[in-house]
Chains A and B, each alone.
Chain A
Amino acid sequence: EAGVTQSPTHLIKTRGQQVTLRCSPISGHTSVYWYQQALGLGLQFLLWYDEGEERNRGNFPPRFSGRQFPNYSSELNVNALELEDSALYLCASSHGQGAFNEQFFGPGTRLTVL
């Protein structure tokens, strides 16, 4: 069974640019979660999508947004990039909604903002 996949693996952008990160969940999983893992900090919850709807978001500004497609894949968009957006962005998926239970993580996208 294929795991959670994310693309691209690495990305370098300059301040002010926009970026789109992509995630494909495990087959049969309807929930997708996005996290930011900055150096020296724990994983910070960004967004949770289930059945195409945004269910919750963490304490991040509106320039962080995303969506979930009918096939349950998801995109994370970050506008007006700032230096502190440099981090590993992780996507996870799980069965159903509600419990964040047994989230399976992808390998992440390493974003560097110069």
Chain B
Amino acid sequence: EDQVTQSPEALRLQEGESSSLNCSYTVSGLRGLFWYRQDPGKGPEFLFTLYSAGEEKEKERLKATLTKKESFLHITAPKPEDSATYLCAAYTGTASKLTFGTGTRLQVTL
């Protein structure tokens, strides 16, 4: 069965304190690894898609990387507005479905 696990469940950082969120996956036939940001009471907002091991993508203070077993979302010098739940999801072409992890709740304080 396809599985996506995110760690840590929750992370509290001070403004400017860089860190990484982990997404490990056990799926058959990975076609893409997605990162989303979700604010309370809202739908997820698309951030990145990674397709192959070694691929990296950046957007402002966020950088996503992918290996054969896991993906990392690096947050550099975070600001309070980066506080949100970050979700990763694996797309498996064989099943044509998206399997989500349970997310990492990030809180960035001043």
Q: What residues of chain A have their CB less than 8 Å away from a CB belonging to chain B?
A: 4, 33, 35, 40-45, 48, 55-56, 58, 90, 92, 98-108
Query: Per a CB cutoff under 8 Å, which of A42, A44, A101 touches B87?
Result: A42
Question: Taking CB as reference atom, which chain B residue is nearest A33?
Answer: B98
Indicate if the CB atoms of B91 and A99 lie closer than 8 Å. Answer: yes
Number of A-B residue pairs, CB cutoff 8 Å, is 60
Q: Flag B64-94 by CB within 8 Å of A: 1 or 0 each.
A: 0000000000000000000000010101000
Measured CB to CB, the residues of B under 8 A from A are: 4, 31-32, 34, 36, 41-46, 49, 87, 89, 91, 95-103
Q: Which 9 A-B pairs have the closest CB atoms?
A: A105-B43, A43-B100, A42-B100, A42-B102, A56-B96, A100-B91, A45-B97, A105-B44, A100-B98
Decide: A102 and B42 in contact? CB cutoff 8 A: no
User: Are B46 and A99 within 8 A (Cβ)?
Assistant: no
Residues of B within 8 A of A45 (CB): 97-100
Cα separation A45 to B87 with both chains bound (whole Å):
14
Which chain A residue lies CB-closest to B34? A100
Residues on A with C-beta less than 8 A from B95 are 56
Give chain B nearest CB distance to A49 CB in angstroms: 12
Known: A45-B97, A99-B31, A101-B32. A106 touches B43 (CB 8 A): yes
Q: Assess the B97–A48 pair: CB atoms within 8 A.
A: yes
A58 with B43: CB separation less than 8 A: no
Q: Which of A58, A92, A101, A108 contacts B97 (CB 8 A)?
A: A58
Q: Whole-angstrom distance between the alpha carbons of A104 and B96 in the complex?
A: 17
* B46 close to A102 (CB less than 8 A): yes
Q: Give A56 to B95 CA distance when docked, in angstroms.
A: 8
What would 10 A/B residue contacts be, using CB atoms closer than 8 Å?
A4-B43, A42-B87, A42-B101, A43-B44, A45-B99, A45-B100, A90-B43, A101-B32, A105-B45, A107-B43
